[in-house]
Chains A and B, each alone.
Chain A
Amino acid sequence: KAGVTQTPRYLIKTRGQQVTLSCSPISGHRSVSWYQQTPGQGLQFLFEYFSETQRNKGNFPGRFSGRQFSNSRSEMNVSTLELGDSALYLCASSPSRNAGDTIYFGEGSWLTVV
């Protein structure tokens, strides 16, 4: 079955703009999490969605938001982009919210802010 799909793969934005990233989880998976990965900070948890509700949120400013649709697809949005938002944004899906569920990552969206 298809893996986690993220779009777009690469994008360049200007400071102050906003961006929306999309994630389609593995079929049947209902939990979607988002991570930001930068060389200096590693993988940082952004938020988790399950059944269209945000269940957990990491330590990021309110400029970072997300949502999940009834088909479990998810989007994340970053408003008023800053240079420091340049990173790889990874989406991961898992079947449920069980702590032992393996999470499967998408290929990520490379965001460059200039």
Chain B
Amino acid sequence: GQNIDQPTEMTATEGAIVQINCTYQTSGFNGLFWYQQHAGEAPTFLSYNVLDGLEEKGRFSSFLSRSKGYSYLLLKELQMKDSASYLCAVTGYSSASKIIFGSGTRLSIRP
């Protein structure tokens, strides 16, 4: 079956660092996406990990461990505009759909 778990809500302080975790169990796995979605808007692409390790892209980094079925998204130097939902999604050759999404983590940034 397909199962993706991530925390429902998180709160962090402006200027700080936050790590959003995602664990997955899928019948097939190719890679893992992170998307950002502001309230009332469409999800936008943040990162895609296929190989184990950390990929850094500006203030955002994403980590993947295929053996552990685990990923995290790291946000540094948090800004108020980072308040959004962060969606973890996996792709697998044998999944019924191209991408399976987690329920998302709603991140609130406080001043």
Q: How far is the CB of A95 from chain B (nearest CB, A)?
A: 12
Chain B residues within 8 Å of A4, by CB: 42
User: Known interface pairs A42-B102, A42-B104, A43-B87. Does A102 touch B45 (Cβ–Cβ under 8 Å)?
Assistant: yes
Encode A18-53 as 1/0 by CB contact (under 8 A) with B: 000000000000010101000001110100100000
Let me know if B91 and A99 touch, CB within 8 A. Answer: yes
Which of the candidate stretches B17-25, B52-60, B68-76, B92-100 sits at the interface with the other chain? B92-100
Let me know if A105 and B98 touch, CB within 8 A. Answer: no
Beyond A43-B43, A103-B98, 16 extra complex contacts between A and B, CB < 8 Å? A35-B101, A42-B87, A42-B104, A43-B87, A43-B104, A45-B99, A48-B98, A57-B96, A99-B93, A100-B48, A100-B91, A101-B98, A102-B48, A105-B42, A105-B43, A106-B42
**Chain B residues packing against A (C-beta within 8 Å):** 30-31, 33, 35, 41-45, 48, 50, 87, 89, 91-93, 96-104
